[in-house]
Structures are given as structure tokens and as C-alpha cells.
Amino acid sequence: MLKRNEGYSERLSETLPRLLIWNQCNVQPLMRVLYERNQRFFLIGDSGYALRPWMMTPITNAAPHTPEEYYTNRLTSTRSIIERVNGVLKMRFRCLIQYRALQYAPTKVAKIVKACCVLHNMCIQDGVPIPDMQLNEAEIGLYPIVPEPEARDGRLNPELAAGKRIQQQIINQLWIRRQVRGNFINN
């Protein structure tokens, strides 16, 4: 008799809707085309997304005081800004919360979200406070994601390999800039 791995099953059930949306949206093919045309634009994903040449993800368990840790800290701090913005919008406009999912075509949902952003800015201008509500991570839309395996049949996914090369270039650039700034400030 097989035992069900509870933690894995729970993560997978939370992950599937997000993966389905990502795999069916038109952003991924657009980013692939931009990459193939040598355009360098990056999305920032959490550790659950697959590293790709156009999707930078943090390095899990990066050793302390290393270039990889510095990169990961910079990446996650940037991503957290977006998560906070999403959380604020969801507190003000409860229709954006996962359990009250918008059942419309993606283009209509995009218009609704844009309208919420405009209305939110108007509320800020007029001094309307943000409702004081506590949202859990699932309501905000943060889910643990089960990463894709790096190798299949002993071969590395070519997009993953390209993502690793680009990620390493970014890590190197960030580390050099950090050292240059440190030397400039110390002199």
C-alpha cells in the first residue's frame, strides 16, 4: 500500500492552478520570443518558478556572504515590493482575492485590475484609508510551488541551462558593482 505524501500533495494542489495559469498565459511565449531576438527583459519569480533566460529566480540555500546570497537578497527584496502592492490592492478590492476569483477572460481581468489600480490611486489622493484586514498568504496569492526537475533522462533542459548562464552573469555583475561601491565609499 502506498502512503500519500501529505506535504507534497498539499503543495501540488496549491501549485497546480498557478502553474496552469502560467503555462497557458501569453507572457511565457512572448518572453521566449524576446529572448530569441536577443532582447534582455526579466521577470522575477519565486523559488517555485523554473529558472529561464527570461525568468530569474532566487537561489535556495545560498551560502552566507556569497555573491549568490547577495543576488538572492536583491531579487527577493525587489519581488517583495510587488507582493506588498498586490496585498494592498486585495485588501482594498476584495474581488481580487483568490477565493473570489474573477471568472472572466484574461483581457477583462487585466482591465479590472487596471481599474482597481486607478481607483486605489484616487483613494490615496483623497486620503481614503486602506481597510485594516488580515489576509493569509493564499488569499494574497502566494503559494509554495513545486519546482520542475532540472534534468530529464540525464539531460539538462536547454532553457534552464541558458537561465543558469544568464543568472550567473547577473550574479557576477551585481557582486562587482557591490565591490566597486564599497571601495568608492571606503576611499
pTM for the whole structure: 0.69
> Using CA atoms, how far apart are residues 184 and 31, in angstroms rounded to an integer?
36
Q: Is 1 among the domain residues?
A: no
C-beta of residue 174 within 8 angstroms of C-beta of residue 59: no
Quote the pLDDT of residue 14: 55
Q: Is 170 among the domain residues?
A: yes
> Using CA atoms, how far apart are residues 118 and 125, in angstroms rounded to an integer?
11
Query: What does the pLDDT profile of the chain (187 residues) look like in tens digits?
Result: 333 344 444 555 555 666 677 777 788 899 999 999 999 889 998 887 889 999 999 999 999 999 999 999 999 999 999 888 888 898 898 888 866 666 777 788 889 889 999 999 999 999 999 887 665 555 545 444 444 455 555 577 899 999 999 999 999 999 999 988 876 665 5
Do the bridges between strand 55-56 and strand 151-152 make them parallel or antiparallel, or are there none, so unpaired? unpaired
Quote the pLDDT of residue 55: 94
Q: Is 31 among the domain residues?
A: yes
Q: Is 165 among the domain residues?
A: yes
23 is in which domain, residue-wise? 6-146+155-186
> Using CA atoms, how far apart are residues 138 and 111, in angstroms rounded to an integer?
23
Q: Is 23 among the domain residues?
A: yes
**Comparing C-alpha atoms, which of 163, 176, 164 is closest to residue 35?**
163
C-beta of residue 135 within 8 angstroms of C-beta of residue 90: yes
> Using CA atoms, how far apart are residues 71 and 59, in angstroms rounded to an integer?
8
Q: Which run of H or of E encompasses 44?
A: strand 43-44
Expressed in angstroms, the distance from the first to the final Cα of the chain is: 67
Q: Is 20 among the domain residues?
A: yes
Q: How many domains does the chain have?
A: 1
Quote the pLDDT of residue 145: 42
Q: How many residues does the chain have?
A: 187
Q: Is 74 among the domain residues?
A: yes
**Comparing C-alpha atoms, which of 59, 77, 82 is closest to residue 170?**
59
Q: Kindly calculate the radius of gyration of the chain based on its CA atoms and give it in whole angstroms.
A: 20
